[in-house]
Amino acid sequence: MVKVAERSQKLISEFARSQMNGGQAGMHPELAETGRARSVADAFIALLTNLAGNQRRMMQAQHALLSSYFDLWQSMTKRLLGEDATPVIEPARTDKRFRGEEWTSNVVFDYIKQSYLLTANWLLDTVRDVEGLDPHQARLVEFHTRQFVDAISPSNFVLTNPEILRSTLEQNGENLVRGLENLLSDLERGRGKLAIRMTDMDAFEIGKNIAITPGKVVYENALMQLIQYTPTTDTVYERPLVIFPPWINKFYILDLTQEKSFIRWAVSKGYTVFVVSWVNPNEKLAQKTFESYMTEGVYAALDAIEQATGMREVNAIGYCIGGTLLGSSLAHMAAHGDDRIRSATFFAAQMDFSEAGELDVFIDEPQLQDLERKMDSAGGYLAANEMAHMFNTLRSNDLIWSFVINNYLLGKDPAPFDLLYWNSDQTNMPKQMHLFYLRECYLKNNLAKGKMKLGGETLDLGKVKIPIYLQSSQDDHIAPYRSVYKATKLFGGKNRFIIAGSGHIAGVINPPSANKYCHWTNDALPDDVEQWFNDATQHPGSWWEDWHKWQSRKSGKKIPARQPGDGKLPVIEDAPGRYVKVKGS
């Protein structure tokens, strides 16, 4: 406790000093998130106004809640009298908070659990069904209500979580002391902001036990390095394959471990694989635009691949925002008659943002103005921890509160987990690029409308006539399959659409050897995605083999395998290169 007191005093002193100097990273009080606060406040004022004008509905809602409480009291009374009682409500199948046996076997904790679930569901249903709110306000209200509901879960408190209570009694509170030590360490690491440690950050090293598929960096510029991977087959398809990953995260999500690596698997299937490794930008790259990522990313990679292999034509993959960039670039290329990309695959990528995922709650003009001021004060870029916090709040139970329980209340160290190491290895965003993307895609949906301009061209996805493979995931909250499906009506060529099991990451990173989840296929493309889903065929396991069957037919004949450095581009360094090792702010 003496150590805790000393560290707490030091932390408070440093925090106070930083505030006297204008706050962390030069942030001044007047640059607080006033726009976001205003957007949220306006949404809840509209909610309360509509609720106040519908007293009958409120009375019905309150009666329903009281009725459910009465059912719960009856059920608990039966249990106290030794009778069997059917639960009034049970957690969702995916809810991990109440999996401990005592949440059901102990009458008190079972009552706490069920009363919380009844109240939480009632509150969410009440705000969800209010008429008169515009769609964005409705999403804001539901999102922030869910944040509140998640925060007050009984699983997050010592006296109402049986596992924490038992550990505290058994350890004489030492778990809470260790937890406070962990909390102070996270605050120190975040320089006054809570930077929750999700995994053992010392258990992994890029290039040592993750991102280890053999290859060479054969080209680099200010924005990216281009990696060419070493073949593992005697022959390869003639047409190379280039992957454009998202720059919101680092590329090695596609090369986590030998077992999970899409890159290693694609190399084993006979593809000459190139991957773009984006730089982690700082203030020197603040003026880089979305167009810069096209010219210095997509176009530069195509030029370099031709020098490295002698092949002008390639196949391409774009993941998430890397897919949005690839789609935009294809439209730009179509306007110029540039046919170097002969087929394109999109992993969880959106072209039409009219039904975008949950990130939409962070995007309206007042919030974007706040974001711009924040980036200006930081030197022209969005610090990596800001982006990470935003993504984590979308799944707060899994990515925030579960670690509050484990690290701070149970006093445990987080376990080594490669995916969470990648999730914590954050990247910065250049100001000009980021604002253009958010305004043009999320706010205005100009790419889908045919109004986005890049390189002097108004982009028309309908002019893209090459074969397209669109992968989506059933539970993706960032790029929902309903949103991804809209691209089938935008591209002008022959499209194939599939839905994988799981979400934005696990739905993509699902090797056949894992034998997990499932996927759905349907050669027809009706106007309605739900009709597509109803008529689709479900297949067990990974969708990767379906993609390989599609892609191999568009990759040309087999030729002797190419080695990095064989062409006109000399080897710069071993994969995964320097850029991926740069840490975000």
**Which residue numbers are catalytic?**
320
- What is the three-class DSSP state of 310? coil
Residues in the chain: 585
CA gap 456, 452 in Å, rounded: 10
Tokens coding 272: 């000459």
CA angle, 212 as apex, 209 and 215 as ends, to 5°? Answer: 160
Residue type, 486: K
Give the burial class of 546: count Cβ atoms within 10 A of its Cβ; 0-12 exposed, 13-18 middle, 19 or more buried. Answer: middle
Residue in this structure with the two tokens 């962990």, named with its chain if needed: 182
DSSP assignment string, 323-382? HHHHHHHHHHHHHHT---EEEEEEES--S--TT--GGGGG-SHHHHHHHHHHHHHHTSEE
CA gap 144, 139 in Å, rounded: 9
Give the Å distances, CA to CA, from 144 to 128, 132, 494, 574: 12, 18, 41, 46
Pairing of strands 453-454, 457-458: antiparallel
Instruction: Please count the other Cβ atoms lying within 10 Å of the Cβ belonging to residue 521.
Output: 15
Tokens coding 502: 């799981």
Q: Is the peptide bond before 240 cis (omega within 30 degrees of 0)?
A: no
Sequence-separated (6 or more) residues with CB below 8 Å from residue 410? 163, 164, 167, 175, 179
